[in-house]
Structure 1
Amino acid sequence: MVHIPDDADFNSFQEQCESPEGWQCQYNKGGVTVWSHEQDNSKAVKKLKMRIICKDVPAEVLYDVLHDTSYRKKWDTNMIDTYDIGRLTVNADVGYYSWKCPSPLKNRDFVTLRSWLPLGNDYMIINYSVKHPKHPPRRDFVRAVSLQTGYLIKANGDNSCILYYLTQVDPKGSLPKWVVNKVSQFVAPKAMKKIYKAGIKYPEWKRKHDPHFKPWVYPEQNTLPTVNLEDLAIQRADELENIDESGVSEERTHISDDEDGLNKES
């Protein structure tokens, strides 16, 4: 049953971000660390966790960056489209996001229920996939499933923060092993650095683009239509078509500097 995340959900998410238990380090270089978490069931979707220290970026600025869909279009070069579908409460909404996968893999998209929580100087944004009657799977995308994805931003002094990104996503496709390896070794670290750079440039950009418009901070600015919780359902992976891309060879696939294509948004 669809529910809006409560304190227990946020506490559980924060604990997963900060706890070392059960996580294996996959990458640790240039200020970015990536871990994976093996699941008890061999067929279960693996969890990935990343951390980067963002010097010269206050926590509240990075929080704004991750909410601001207008700015995302400037820095998220693998995004195809994103938009808010409607609001549920003052700190929860439903949204759409699609992103480019490196050719010849098919592009993916999501519909997610997202919720956010400011906690003093720290912030969390978490999401999971839902079904919305007016936004069914599209023929030109593979509908992927976020079991749990989110960000934890922890203040680290007055002008610095630590960003955690934790994701458990079923990309709905039998992806080749090399793609999964490439995500943790190449795609994920670069995506984290891209968010960090976006944080450094955001204050100057925001000064020129609706500087006072922040509906995620000021709910009275939110003009989205209301979504009824009863109209939503949990998006289960086994209800979606499975695409077999396991035969795609690494030689045929090019991941360029602008194709962080298997990373996704909260």
Structure 2
Amino acid sequence: MAVANAIDAAKQWDPDLVEANYIKALSNNLSIIRLRFGDASKPLFKNREFIVYERRETMDDGTLVVAVASLPKEIAAGLQPKRSNSIRGLLLQSGWVVEKLEDDSCLVTYVVQLDPAGWLPKCFVNRLNTKLVMIIDNLKKLAQACR
């Protein structure tokens, strides 16, 4: 099963995604997206938003490469002003590679380099580290369901 886009994919494996929308499609495989995570009702937590580009490329051997990174602050601010109830974080060079293996399985490499910006409680940072493992497990379950 091919996931239609980054927003559909993120909604399937990340329950903290509160809101997502496309700002602009630059080509068939390059889009600018706004992602907002968190829940303002949680104590000591302020929502984080990211203005990112998503580029998808399928290689000749069928390998899917999806690169996601924040736009520079000045460009992001020009496309989508920062909302007052959010902190704008930076998603550095991130994304995933899905390689088809010979035994009808695949190898997924998932990389996230994140600067959430602003202060975060230590307990939340620890939870975020654990959450990354759960995201990988959700990706595995999603892939197995698509066989």
| Alignment partners' CA distance in 1, 2:67 and 2:9 | 19
How many pairs are equivalent? 140
Task: After TM superposition, give the deviation of residue 138 of structure 1 in Å.
Answer: 0.6
CA RMSD of aligned residues (A): 2.5
> 2:125 is matched by which residue type in structure 1?
V
Of 100, 106, 110, which aligns to 1:165? 110
CA 1:75–1:150 in structure 2 vs 1: closer, same or farther (change >3 Å)? closer
1:136 aligns with 2:136: no
CA 1:202–1:79 in structure 2 vs 1: closer, same or farther (change >3 Å)? farther
Task: After TM superposition, give the deviation of residue 202 of structure 1 in Å.
Answer: 4.8
Query: Which has the larger strand fraction?
Result: 2
CA 1:182–1:75 in structure 2 vs 1: closer, same or farther (change >3 Å)? closer
The unaligned stretches of length 5 or more in structure 2 are: none
CA 1:78–1:171 in structure 2 vs 1: closer, same or farther (change >3 Å)? same
In the other structure, the counterpart of 2:51 is 111
Task: After TM superposition, give the deviation of residue 178 of structure 1 in Å.
Answer: 4.2
In the alignment, is the contact (CA less than 8 A) between 1:154 and 1:161 conserved in 2? Answer: yes
In the other structure, the counterpart of 1:84 is 22
Task: After TM superposition, give the deviation of residue 193 of structure 1 in Å.
Answer: 0.8
In the other structure, the counterpart of 2:32 is 94
- 3-state SS of paired residue (1:133): helix
| Alignment partners' CA distance in 1, 2:62 and 2:9 | 22
CA 1:132–1:201 in structure 2 vs 1: closer, same or farther (change >3 Å)? farther
Cα deviation, 1:119-168, whole Å, max 9, x if unaligned, reads 12211111211215241111122111112111111212353111111111
1:148 aligns with 2:93: yes
Q: TM-score scaled to structure 1, two decimals?
A: 0.47
| Alignment partners' CA distance in 1, 2:103 and 2:49 | 36
Q: TM-score scaled to structure 2, two decimals?
A: 0.79
In the other structure, the counterpart of 2:137 is 193
Q: How does 1:12-23 map to 2 (within 5 A)?
A: none
> 1:103 is matched by which residue type in structure 2?
K
Task: After TM superposition, give the deviation of residue 177 of structure 1 in Å.
Answer: 4.1
Kindly, what percent of the aligned residue pairs are identical? Answer: 24
| Alignment partners' CA distance in 2, 1:150 and 1:136 | 24
| Alignment partners' CA distance in 2, 1:135 and 1:142 | 13
Cα deviation, 1:8-41, whole Å, max 9, x if unaligned, reads xxxxxxxxxxxxxxxxxxxxxxxxxxxxxxxxxx
In the alignment, is the contact (CA less than 8 A) between 1:147 and 1:168 conserved in 2? Answer: yes
Q: How does 1:209-224 map to 2 (within 5 A)?
A: none
CA 1:70–1:91 in structure 2 vs 1: closer, same or farther (change >3 Å)? closer
Task: After TM superposition, give the deviation of residue 86 of structure 1 in Å.
Answer: 1.3
Bigger relative contact order (CA 8 A; separation at least 6)? 1
| Alignment partners' CA distance in 2, 1:196 and 1:66 | 17
Larger radius of gyration: 1
The unaligned stretches of length 5 or more in structure 1 are: 1-60, 204-266
